[in-house]
């Protein structure tokens, strides 16, 4: 008998406060038209008073409810994030506390920026296949708004806050079918958040937090992202044992509509098969894929048995993809 891991339930949570492109026009020299045509983003959510771990716990509660499992049957919590509540302890431990899971449950974070959810799913899948766990909650949770320089029009228009989660469980039927994860550390300086890292702290009397918020060489990241996302998407399909025509939906990382369209063209998918959420929520980094999955499951587009390919790209630089049967 083969052992697989399979998604048993999904959940997502966004803070209530909406920040529109029009409102950003009052903060920086930009326009609704520029943001829409260059990125596809119309509005994003901002967590004024909810911590990253609260966002993540709210998404996890919904995923546990959909899975219909007892929370005490969860063996582990893995959180993909670059905006954790604290550098130590892991945000996963705080989420474990919010969920009230007390015993026999490991909890740790994964740092792979926007690709974090795919990295975390590959780790959870391996742990289940190797009998280290039966059920793991995998969460992508971000509170990016507090790490953004609201005077930098190159970055502040892009990001939003939110969290998505899945319960991944042991299964006899195929669920997760292929993973492809990759990184190029020589490009580590193209997308950075240096504030409160140990390099920053060792230098903290000579610099300020304001000078060390998110920075991105957008155009350079864009060029690499277009190719890497398209290649990773094709590779996930080709190594899954399925054919291109078997793919029902594509869930791309939601950074830029032009990058998404290039990746979708590469696997010949029409627009109705691509799940898009960035118009409403912007780039929520590790949360884009699990939130988009949950939204499409709850609105009835994605159903049990559908084959889904997901791909992401982000700081590191990191990129990756996965193909699964829901
Ligand atoms: O999720 C993590 C991975 N991140 C990504 O994948 C992001 C990849 N990059 C992108 O999506 C795009 O590069 C951006 C949306 C960030 C920028 O779009 P672009 O078409 O690459 O613009 P650009 O950076 O080449 O800038 C073009 C012009 C510049 O003006 P000049 O130098 O031509 O006069 C910028 O200063 O647009 C200007 N610009 C803006 N104008 C109005 C940059 N940001 C803005 C803005 N509003 N918000």
Ligand 1 near 41 CB (within 6 A): no
Q: Tell me, in angstroms, the distance from the centre of ligand 1 to residue 14's CA.
A: 25
Q: What is the mean pLDDT of residues 170-192?
A: 97
183, burial (CB in 10 Å: exposed 0-12, middle 13-18, buried 19+): middle
For 42-83, the pLDDT digits (tens) are 999 999 999 999 999 999 999 999 999 999 999 999 999 999
Q: Where are the domains of the chain?
A: 4-173, 178-325
Angle between helices 52-67 and 91-99 (to 10 degrees): 50
CA 260 vs. chain centroid, Å, equals 15
Q: Cα separations (Å) of 107 from 3, 66, 70, 92, 215? A: 23, 21, 17, 5, 29
Q: What is the mean pLDDT of residues 202-206?
A: 95
Q: Which residue has the higher pLDDT, 3 or 64?
A: 64
The residue to which tokens 């155009």 are assigned: 219
Q: Which residue CA neighbors atom 16 of ligand 1 most closely?
A: 218
Does residue 95 register a pLDDT over 90? yes
Binning pLDDT at 50, 70 and 90, where does residue 197 land?
very high
Q: What is the mean pLDDT of residues 261-284?
A: 93
Ligand 1 near 255 CB (within 6 A): yes
d(CA 209, CA 12): 30
Of the candidates 30, 24, 274, the residue with the CA atom closest to the CA atom of residue 160: 24
d(CA 289, CA 281): 12
Residues of the chain above pLDDT 70, percent: 100
For residue 189, give both structure tokens. Answer: 């300086």
d(CA 307, CA 314): 24
Residues of the chain above pLDDT 90, percent: 95
Q: Which atom of ligand 1 is nearest to the CA of 24?
A: 48
- Told to judge if 283 belongs to the known catalytic residues of this protein, a careful annotator would answer yes
Does residue 38 register a pLDDT over 80? yes
Binning pLDDT at 50, 70 and 90, where does residue 228 land?
very high
Question: One fold for both 4-173 and 178-325?
Answer: yes
Q: What's the pLDDT at 246?
A: 95
What is the architecture of the domain spanning 4-173?
A: 3-Layer(aba) Sandwich (3.40)
- Told to judge if 253 belongs to the known catalytic residues of this protein, a careful annotator would answer yes
- What is the DSSP track for 260-325? HHHHHHHTT--GGGB---HHHH-B-GGGHHHHHHHHHHHTTSS-TT-EEEEEEEETTTEEEEEEEE
Q: What's the pLDDT at 268?
A: 86
Q: Which residue CA neighbors atom 47 of ligand 1 most closely?
A: 30
Q: What's the pLDDT at 166?
A: 98
d(CA 76, CA 150): 36
Sign of the alpha-carbon torsion through 216, 17, 319, 237: negative
Does residue 108 register a pLDDT over 80? yes
Q: What is the dihedral of CA 302, 322, 287, 88, to 10 degrees?
A: 140
pTM: 0.97
d(CA 191, CA 236): 25
Ligand 1 near 227 CB (within 6 A): no
Look over the chain and give the mean of its residue pLDDT values, rounded to a whole number: 96
* Candidate from 149, 218, 262, 320 with most ligand 1 atoms within 8 A of CB, to mutate: 218
Q: What is the dihedral of CA 240, 270, 294, 136, to 10 degrees?
A: 10
Q: Tell me, in angstroms, the distance from the centre of ligand 1 to residue 99's CA.
A: 39
Of the candidates 209, 166, 184, the residue with the CA atom closest to the CA atom of residue 314: 184
For 232-253, the pLDDT digits (tens) are 999 999 999 999 999 999 999 9
Beta strands in 85-236 (DSSP E): 106-110, 135-142, 162-171, 176-183, 191-192, 215-216
Which CATH superfamily groups domain 178-325?
Thiolase/Chalcone synthase (3.40.47.10)
Q: Tell me, in angstroms, the distance from the centre of ligand 1 to residue 218's CA.
A: 6
Q: What's the pLDDT at 184?
A: 97
Set 114, 180, 212, 307: catalytic member: 114
Do 306 and 248 form a contact (C-beta atoms < 8 A)? yes
Ligand 1 near 316 CB (within 6 A): no
Q: What's the pLDDT at 267?
A: 83
d(CA 87, CA 2): 38
- The neighbouring-strand residues paired with 182 are 319
Does residue 266 register a pLDDT over 90? no
Ligand 1 near 289 CB (within 6 A): no
- The neighbouring-strand residues paired with 134 are none
Does residue 1 register a pLDDT over 90? no
For residue 37, give both structure tokens. Answer: 């045509």
Q: Tell me, in angstroms, the distance from the centre of ligand 1 to residue 48's CA.
A: 26
């Amino acid at each position: 008998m083969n052992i697989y891991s399979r998604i048993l339930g999904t959940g997502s949570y966004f803070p209530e406060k909406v920040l529109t492109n029009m409102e950003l026009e009052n903060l920086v020299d930009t326009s609704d038209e520029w943001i829409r045509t260059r990125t596809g983003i119309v509005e994003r959510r901002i967590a004024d008073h909810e911590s990253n771990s609260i966002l993540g716990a709210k998404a996890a509660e919904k995923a546990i409810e959909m899975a219909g499992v007892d929370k005490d049957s969860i063996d582990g919590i893995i959180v993909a994030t670059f905006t954790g509540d604290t550098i130590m302890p892991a945000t996963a431990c705080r989420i474990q506390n919010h969920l009230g899971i007390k015993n026999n449950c490991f909890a740790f974070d994964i740092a792979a920026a926007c690709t974090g959810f795919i990295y975390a799913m590959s780790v959870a899948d391996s742990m289940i296949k190797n009998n280290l766990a039966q059920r793991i909650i995998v969460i992508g949770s971000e509170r990016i708004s507090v790490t953004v320089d609201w005077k930098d029009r190159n970055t502040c228009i892009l990001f939003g806050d939110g969290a998505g989660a899945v319960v991944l469980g042991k299964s006899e039927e195929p669920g997760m079918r292929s993973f492809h994860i990759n990184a190029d550390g020589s490009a580590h300086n193209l997308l950075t958040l240096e504030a409160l890292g140990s390099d920053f702290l060792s230098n903290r009397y000579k610099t300020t937090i304001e000078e060390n918020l998110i920075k991105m060489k957008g155009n350079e990241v864009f060029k690499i992202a277009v190719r890497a996302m398209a290649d990773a998407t094709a590779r996930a399909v080709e190594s899954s044992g399925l054919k291109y025509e078997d793919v029902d939906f594509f869930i791309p990382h939601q950074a830029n509509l032009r990058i998404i369209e290039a990746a979708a063209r590469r696997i010949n998918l029409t627009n109705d098969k691509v799940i898009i959420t960035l118009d409403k929520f912007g780039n929520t980094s590790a949360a884009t894929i699990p939130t988009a999955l949950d939204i499409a499951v709850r609105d009835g587009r994605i159903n049990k048995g559908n084959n889904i390919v997901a791909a992401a790209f982000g700081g590191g630089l990191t990129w990756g993809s996965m193909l699964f049967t829901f």
